[in-house]
Amino acid sequence: MLFASDLDRTLIYSKRFLDKYKKRPLLIETKDDKEISFITELSISILKKIANRILFIPVTTRTIEQYKRISFLKNTIIPKYAIVSNGGNILVNGKIDSYWAKIISLKLKSECISTKKVLERFGEIKNNDWVYKQMKADNLFYYYIVDKDNIPLDEIADFKKWLLKHGWNISIQGRKLYLIPGFINKLSAVKYIKNKTQKKKVIASGDSLLDLSMLEHADIAFCPSHGEIYNSYKEGYLKVPKHIVFTDNQGMSASEEILKEVERLTCDDKLIS
């Protein structure tokens, strides 16, 4: 069995979630002397127990550099495998899996239209009223810092249809908008590691639509009651299979709830065999 979990807004949280949690959590990421991300002490404690029993795989849309800023994954829990760049890169003991990187490189050349054409098409609808900054992630995809309240939703909906026809995907998570080739996804990377390690079952957790396929194909999955998946479900835009369980709690308490459930499942030797 393996436990594949998204990080941001699933296990770790930014400063704006602090006022919703009674105790001050642990600071686990800084950048330019600024406090970036936190995790609760209880979450760390439970995750340690889980990682000692089964294979724990952090799964994130973060770039390699952004992932390596997370301190507890370097000095407290050190995963053998990590999926970064939304599945575009796999780290094995901190180093890029060259075979997986080669697979992704070949797909970039053959399975979707060029980045140039995607950016040209996006350029027809983006402007400074709602797009503030463009960044390239590990030479694999692009993401933008945006004003979510001013996004032209109708134009984005049409753009999404166009992207899907041409092998790309779009996701809006908070202040970030992602443009990603469809084959660069968390599920494919999880399947690759599952086959490589010969694990039979997968537990997964995540909050965004970029996590959804990973959750749908897991044996059991947990989703915080916040974020893209939950909001789309509550608004009636998304149906989810029964094995995806929503938490009772939100924010940092949701991460503790998820990890308690995963620990309970991994205490059953019949389930993890």
What confidence tens digit (pLDDT) does each residue in 60-106 have? 999 999 999 999 999 999 999 999 999 999 999 999 999 999 999 99
174 by DSSP, 3-state: which?
coil
- Residue keyed to tokens 């995790």: 39
CA distance 161 to 157: 7
Q: Which fold has domain 112-181?
A: Hypothetical Protein Ta0175; Chain: A, domain 2 (3.90.1070)
Angle at 2 between CA 268 and CA 97, to 5 degrees: 160
What pLDDT digit, counting tens, does each position of 93-135 carry? 999 999 999 999 999 998 889 999 999 999 999 999 999 999 9
DSSP assignment letter at 147: -
220-223 and 244-246: which strand pairing?
A: parallel
By the 8 A CB rule, do 141 and 88 touch?
yes
CA distance 84 to 81: 10
By the 8 A CB rule, do 11 and 50 touch?
no
178 by DSSP, 3-state: which?
strand
Q: Looking at the predicted structure, is the pLDDT value of residue 270 above 60?
A: no
Compute the mean pLDDT over every residue in the chain, rounded to the nearest whole number: 94
Residue 269 is predicted with a pLDDT of 58
Say yes or no: do domains 2-104+185-272 and 112-181 share a fold: no
Percent of the chain's residues with pLDDT above 90:
89
Under CATH, which number does the domain 2-104+185-272 receive? 3.40.50.1000
In this prediction, residues 218-230 reach a mean pLDDT of 96
In this prediction, residues 128-152 reach a mean pLDDT of 95
In this prediction, residues 206-213 reach a mean pLDDT of 95
| Domains in the chain: boundaries | 2-104+185-272, 112-181
130 by DSSP, 3-state: which?
coil
Residue 142 is predicted with a pLDDT of 96
In this prediction, residues 167-195 reach a mean pLDDT of 94
How far apart, in Å, are the Cα atoms of 108 and each of 70, 135, 144, 227? 28, 18, 20, 29
Residue 24 is predicted with a pLDDT of 83
Of the candidates 78, 60, 48, which has an alpha carbon nearest to the alpha carbon of residue 137?
Answer: 60
By the 8 A CB rule, do 39 and 11 touch?
yes
